[in-house]
Amino acid sequence: MEITNAQIQEWLNSGDSKEYFDLLKFATVGADVNHLRDCVQCATWLKKWLKGIGAEAELILPPGGDAPSSVPVVFAEIKGEEGASTVLFYGHYDVQPADPEDLWETPPFEPSLRDGRVYCRGSQDDKGQFFAFLCGVRQYLAAAGEKVNLKILLEGQEESGSTGLFKLLAEPSFRKRLAADVMLVCDTSAAADLRPSIMAGIRGVNHFTVKLTAAQRDLHSGEYGGVAPNAAQGMCELLSSLHAPDGSIAVAGFLDGKEVPSPAELEMASAAFPSEDAAREAFEKDTGVPPCGGERAKPVFLRTGFEPTIEINGVHSGYGGAGSKTVIPCEAIAKISTRLVPGQNPRRTFEAIKEHLVAHCPEGMEVSFPEDSGLSAALKLPLSSPLFAIAEEVLSQMDSRGPLFQWGGASIPVVSALKETSGAAALLVGWGQADDRIHSPNESFSVRQFFLAKEWAVRILERL
């Protein structure tokens, strides 16, 4: 499916694009309390939009009353035919922070169209994907024919652990409202060159902060150097202890319960790359570096979908400004995230890391964990799912190559809980590509991808 310049221009003049651009302008960084107003305004905009397509829509505040819990959840229902299937659609309107903002070619919350791609934070993840799907819902509702029952759930904290939504899922009255036959999610990736892909599994996630404290204050590196413990150096030693020289995880107990993928899963997952060399070449083309992270002896496709990780997301200590400031830092902070695979217990993996870091804490220092953004388990879907057969049929109509099956390295923390709560069979089909640069400066989403997500919505709802 190629998109011509005429089609792009026609789309630019349509209601879809104008509303999409309006949605992107909300700076919905759900993890930052300074953007709470943006999140509330965006949720209000979405509620109004959903009512405009005939839905009963409302904003729901999770219990608690603190700032994170004040990020609203948007819930909408559209009644279908008597006895028809019920479909629950999940998406999230929050986005990652825009920093470093100086690397953006255009302002991060001012959508810009260049070469058939819309550049803006959230243009793909997940505003672009879920809104294109909802535009498909609007088209589906306008067509003649019997309709399924639709429930739409949009949250504003997925990027920071879905704290508020998890609180709501603990309330029996809200859980009851989510009952469905099928759950659809459009927040994943297609294969290379936008070949359709069915996500058969996604890794779980945990992210937290580690703090290392040494002296009572930053010390003069001349007067105290060679004697006082250095928190920056200590943090480097502490973090390096998490992995063995071959890249494998060196934390005792972290891998407990880890399941081995089946031969069928391995065969399907490797089908996206004809060889390991091809996988390495594709990775290096995308990132500019070879795939030398993690346990290097294992194939790339295995490391990205079936192996757990411990990654350092950021390290902060001492002075980092212009020139020099000769101090021995008294504290250091690291941001860490883990990705988990089926069989791993999220709570146990977190406890294993904490026990490891306490045991390896350098002398004269103290380690603490001031922030934990929540835990979620991996999601594994059965290849024998009848819903997969329906999706294969629909996606083969959209693309003669047919779909591939993928096991995603990324995570959508609340999806496993939503699947369990709703009782629905889950289907994750998305249209992301490496070129989208999600979570990075200059995130973008092509008009072609928008069209595919919209078409997918129409076709799968008609088929269901």
Q: CATH code at 180?
A: 3.40.630.10
Residue 387 inside a domain? The answer is: no
Residue 208 inside a domain? The answer is: yes
Residue 439 inside a domain? The answer is: yes
Q: Are residues 368 and 225 in the same domain?
A: yes
Residue 198 inside a domain? The answer is: no
User: Of 354, 376, 398, at which residue does a domain stop?
Assistant: 376
Please say if the pLDDT value at position 65 is more than 70: no
Residue 272 inside a domain? The answer is: no
Q: Are residues 114 and 244 in the same domain?
A: no
In this structure, the strands spanning 197-202 and 404-408 are parallel
Looking at the chain, how many residues does it have? 464
Number of domains in the chain: 2
Residue scoring higher pLDDT (233 or 274): 233
pLDDT tens per residue, range 69-120: 689 999 999 999 999 999 999 999 999 999 999 999 999 999 999 999 999 9
Query: What's the CA gap between 92 and 74, in Å, rounded?
Result: 9
Q: Are residues 424 and 372 in the same domain?
A: no
pLDDT tens per residue, range 289-298: 999 999 999 9
Note the pLDDT of residue 271: 87
- Average pLDDT over the chain, rounded to whole? 95
Please say if the pLDDT value at position 130 is more than 70: yes
Distances 191 to 42, 90, 196, 340, 441 between C-alpha atoms, Å: 31, 21, 6, 22, 22
pLDDT tens per residue, range 187-201: 999 999 999 999 999
Query: What's the CA gap between 132 and 17, in Å, rounded?
Result: 9
Q: Are residues 93 and 140 in the same domain?
A: yes
Two tokens at 428?
């994750």
Q: Are residues 184 and 333 in the same domain?
A: no
For the purposes of burial, counting CB atoms within 10 Å of the CB of 115, is it exposed (0-12), middle (13-18) or buried (19 or more)? exposed
Q: Are residues 318 and 252 in the same domain?
A: yes
Q: CATH code at 210?
A: 3.30.70.360
Note the pLDDT of residue 115: 95
Single-letter code of the amino acid located at 52:
G
For residues 242-255, give the mean pLDDT: 97
For residues 277-291, give the mean pLDDT: 92
For 269-277, the CB contacts below 8 A with 24+ separation are: 269/301, 269/302, 269/305, 269/306, 269/405, 269/406, 269/407, 270/299, 270/301, 271/404, 271/405, 272/191, 272/192, 272/197, 272/301, 272/404, 272/406, 273/300, 273/301, 276/300
pLDDT tens per residue, range 5-59: 999 999 999 999 999 999 999 999 998 999 999 999 999 999 999 999 999 999 9
pLDDT band at 274 (very low <50, low <70, confident <90, very high): confident
pLDDT tens per residue, range 384-435: 999 999 999 999 999 999 999 999 988 898 999 999 999 999 999 999 999 9
Q: Residue 291's CB: how many other CB atoms inside 10 A?
A: 19
Structural domain harbouring 239: 204-258+308-376
Residue 398 inside a domain? The answer is: no
Note the pLDDT of residue 178: 98
pLDDT tens per residue, range 301-355: 999 999 999 999 999 999 999 999 999 999 999 999 999 999 999 999 999 999 9
For residues 154-180, give the mean pLDDT: 94
Q: Are residues 215 and 91 in the same domain?
A: no
